[in-house]
Amino acid sequence: MKSSHDTIINCLSILYLRSFRMSRYWSAVTHDLTPYVPGEQPALDDLVKLNTNENPYGPSPKALAAIRAVTEDTLRLYPDPDARALKAALANRYGVDPAQVFVGNGSDEVLALAFIGLLKHERPLWMPDVTYSFYPVYCGLYGIEYRQIPLDDDFVLRPEDYLPRGEDRAGAIIFPNPNAPTGRLLPLAEVERIVAANREAVIVVDEAYIDFADQSASAIALVDRYPNLLVVHTFSKSRALAGLRIGFAIGHPDLMTGLERIKNSFNSYPLDRLALAGALASVEDESWFQASCRKVITTRTMLTAQLQALGFEVLPSAANFVFARLPGFDAAELAAALRERAIIVRHLDAPRTAQHLRITVGDDRQCATLLDALRDILGAVR
């Protein structure tokens, strides 16, 4: 009769052989990758989904109408590969020239093209240690050496850490502002300090959440003065079009030309006709956009205050989520207890964030459900 040890060895051998058969055709790059793990999209009834920073208020009605209007015979035709109408609308919205605008299939694609086209150099790419976890994945995919620079104890990015010191200088720099997953905002003057000190390096400021901050904080205001600055935005958060996958970048025309060269060597038609129509109508509906952002900001203020009243430590957030911890409670167990009540939040199991939860700002009903569940959980424990 086989021992339990022999059984375990046999099972491991079978798993290894299956894995080998599945992966023996992979390239070395594929073997070595640690892929990005997107936020969970569970199929649960009556789910309160606060884990992927989606906008609870939905897209502009004008955007939905524009999408419906193009579901016709023209779908047999390719979309405009240059997205000229959308670029013109974005240029008008942000006070730049259309030649300073690049669009892509979500800001993730825009970032991916920037990594290979603008951020791969002999010197390492610098980024924060607590940041958007896709950045190291891109580095692994494209073979980019990188350095992670620690945020301070309060999760604040220190501009002085990004200043060149003799031969110790970055090949390029990337950071989100507001930062993800912390939500903290670096003032525009501090962003400019980094950009101005590194004029020989491309600086990418990922502003996926900037519309939930003071919008005058956007680094787009700096692009005409600094040809090394690329600012990346998304339609997924503030414009509630995550399902269409639309992103864009604004910067010097030379940077745009570089991105276009990479794009046209990969996918000449990144935005389909539905996405182009919806995005254009969304940009043109400024009143809806502003109202939606205000509602999220108002609810964020309420949610922060209520979490603090329950004993949570909540970082100052300029995004559509809050980053919080409850001293004395394990964050993973708290997330699991919420899940049992059909409430999903994001637990990021990394050394510096393992005791924090990132909680999307939902609508008032969703936030009330979350807070009631937390009171119930904490009341049972306490």
Q: Per residue in 287-305, pLDDT tens?
A: 999 999 999 999 999 999 9
Share of the chain above pLDDT 70, in %: 92
**H or E stretch including 358?**
strand 357-360
Global pTM reads: 0.91
Residue 165's SS3 state is strand
- Confidence tier at 45 by pLDDT (50, 70, 90): low
Answer whether 185's CB lies under 8 Å from 177's CB. Answer: yes
Given this model, what pLDDT does residue 12 score?
Answer: 53
Answer whether 170's CB lies under 8 Å from 125's CB. Answer: yes
Work out the number of other CB atoms within 10 angstroms of the CB of residue 107: 25
Contacts of 250 (CB under 8 A, 6+ apart): 90, 94, 96, 100, 101, 102, 220, 223, 230, 231, 233
Rounded to whole angstroms, the Cα distance separating 57 from 345 reads 18
Given this model, what pLDDT does residue 282 score?
Answer: 98
- What number is the average pLDDT over the span 186-215? 97
Rounded to whole angstroms, the Cα distance separating 307 from 322 reads 10
Look at residue 16 and tell me whether its pLDDT is greater than 90: no
How does pLDDT run across 214-227, given as a tens digit for each residue? 878 999 999 999 99
Given this model, what pLDDT does residue 1 score?
Answer: 47
Q: What is the dihedral of CA 296, 302, 303, 308, to 10 degrees?
A: 150
How does pLDDT run across 167-182, given as a tens digit for each residue? 999 999 999 999 999 9
Instruction: Report the amino acid identity of residue 327.
Output: P
Sign of CA dihedral 68, 73, 78, 84: negative
Contacts of 196 (CB under 8 A, 6+ apart): 226
- List alpha helices for the chain, DSSP H: 4-23, 28-32, 61-69, 84-94, 106-118, 134-142, 188-197, 253-263, 273-284, 286-309, 331-340, 364-381
- What number is the average pLDDT over the span 126-154? 96
Look at residue 381 and tell me whether its pLDDT is greater than 50: yes
How does pLDDT run across 92-116, given as a tens digit for each residue? 999 999 999 999 999 999 999 999 9
Radius of gyration of the chain (CA): 22
Worst-scoring range by mean pLDDT, 17-31, 275-289, 328-342? Answer: 17-31
